[in-house]
Copies of this chain bind each other. A is one copy, B any other.
């Protein structure tokens, strides 16, 4: 037998999530994609949260962490870019990660990398820990927030009438790529300056 395994389930579930979004990401939909009864999934997956974790890991693992160049600054930027691209390749993923509070082995490996790069930057351990924690959380947070922001409709003119500044924000469509690049550089530079100053 053994038609099902974690790998096949993860792949099918990721496809379902991509195609139908968070709302369509359903035990029944995943089962149907595998031509199987919903309950069959439960022999390979504890519950839906575990399925979500599987999906997130599958998506994260899809493209490997960027290879280190030895230049810690470049490598930190690359990590930020990689984080963003992983999320953007599968838009529903951010929602799923949030909805089910996924924190998996793949996330740990990212943490590992962030910290090791910050240590290469010459910061003492305590500072590197702080830098790694805050920078990785901020980057992930920004990426997911950006995704949410992009999904927004422009507020009604009535709502913007009394908000002359906010209105500007919605008039010119932002260059998200450039914004992200700028912010990740500003963040890393700012953290390094502050933490090495002591």
Contact = CB atoms under 8 A, between A and B. Distances in A.
Interface of A: 95, 98-99, 101, 103, 105, 108-109, 111-112, 115-116, 119, 125, 129-130, 132-135, 137-138, 140-146, 148-149, 151-152, 155, 159-160, 163-166, 168-169, 172, 174, 178-180, 182-183, 185-191, 193-195
B151 A101 contact: yes
Contact of A111 (B98, B108, B137, B165): B165
**Copies of chain A in the complex:** 2
Given A133-B174, A138-B142, A111 B166 contact: yes
A26 B143 CA distance: 29
B145 A105 contact: no
Contact of A103 (B140, B152, B179, B190): B152
A140 B147 CA distance: 13
A65 to B, nearest CB: 13
Contact of A166 (B108, B125, B168, B174): B108
A159 to B, nearest CB: 6
Contact of A140 (B109, B145, B190, B193): B145
A95 B98 CA distance: 8
A108 to B, nearest CB: 5
A107 to B, nearest CB: 9
13 contacts: A108-B155, A108-B159, A109-B163, A109-B166, A115-B165, A129-B172, A132-B165, A134-B180, A134-B182, A138-B183, A182-B191, A187-B187, A190-B193
B174 A130 contact: yes
Given A133-B179, A138-B145, A145-B138, A119 B165 contact: yes
Nearest to A99: B99
A169 B129 CA distance: 6
Contact of A145 (B129, B141, B166): B141
